[in-house]
Amino acid sequence: MPKVQICRWNELTAEPEVERLIKELDLVFFSSSAKQTFASAEERAGFRERWLGRYLRHFPDYALLALDEQCRVVGYVIGSMNDPARDPLFADIAVLQTFSALTQRYPAQLHVNLDAAWRGQGVGARLVNAFADLARRAGAPGVHVVTVRGMRNVGFYLSNEFVERGVTVVDGRELLFLGRDL
């Protein structure tokens, strides 16, 4: 197993190298994203805000970074303990209303991304388990992710104790609600 340190974002923000960490987070975020092209800089910035920025700003206690031996960001997990179907901060993600009965049981949510060179080495599982521990200590009964059937991350989540709990179709794509009991 590679030497990787899991650190909480809110413990690193006092570091003089925060700008470097943000650039490295962005690199992992955009290189891992299923969406790779944007019509404009504004669309790209909005995408980042929706799936990364708001979590760092509003939920820094639940953002964990995986740092290599040179303290470079090689992955991260971000999330919230708030039920996103009931939190106005997530009102822009309409599909969450479809899963509102499930989000009551699995209110914590997470997003995990790794640099491609670090996948398959247990780093993602460590991040997910560290997040699950935080959620358990915060009193969440379960954690969830929403993804698209057929994406590479589905197998990863299923191998990390997530179970398919719900499905809906949006724009011809099957969205999966995967939940993990805590």
Domain residue ranges in the chain: 5-181
Q: Of the candidates 18, 28, 66, 54, which has an alpha carbon nearest to the alpha carbon of residue 45?
A: 54
- CA–centroid distance for 173 within its chain: 20
* Percent over 90 (pLDDT), the chain: 91
Residues whose CB falls within 8 Å of the CB of residue 112, separated by 6 or more in sequence, listed in order = 75, 76, 77, 124, 127, 128, 131
Per-residue pLDDT of 97-109, as tens digits, reads 999 999 999 999 9
Looking at residue 55, what is its pLDDT? 97
* Percent over 70 (pLDDT), the chain: 98
Assign 34 a pLDDT band (cuts: 50, 70, 90): confident
- Dump the DSSP string for 85-106: TT-GGGTT-THHHHTHHHHHHS
On whether the CB atoms of residues 145 and 109 are closer than 8 A, the answer is: yes
DSSP assignment letter at 133: H
Which H or E element spans position 156?
helix 153-158
- Tracing tokens 């995990």 back to the chain, one arrives at 112
What would the 3-class secondary structure string for 10-25 be? Answer: HHHCCCCCHHHHHHHH
Given a cut of 80, whether residue 179 has pLDDT beyond it is yes
Q: Of the candidates 58, 91, 63, 96, which has an alpha carbon nearest to the alpha carbon of residue 77?
A: 63
Looking at residue 43, what is its pLDDT? 96
Please report, as a single letter, which amino acid is at residue 44: R
pTM of the model: 0.94
Pick the CATH number of 5-181 from 3.20.20.140, 3.40.630.30, 1.10.510.10, 3.40.50.10470: 3.40.630.30
Average pLDDT, the chain: 95
On whether the CB atoms of residues 106 and 79 are closer than 8 A, the answer is: no
Given a cut of 90, whether residue 17 has pLDDT beyond it is no
- Tell me the mean pLDDT in the region 86-100: 94
- Tell me the mean pLDDT in the region 4-15: 86
Looking at residue 1, what is its pLDDT? 63
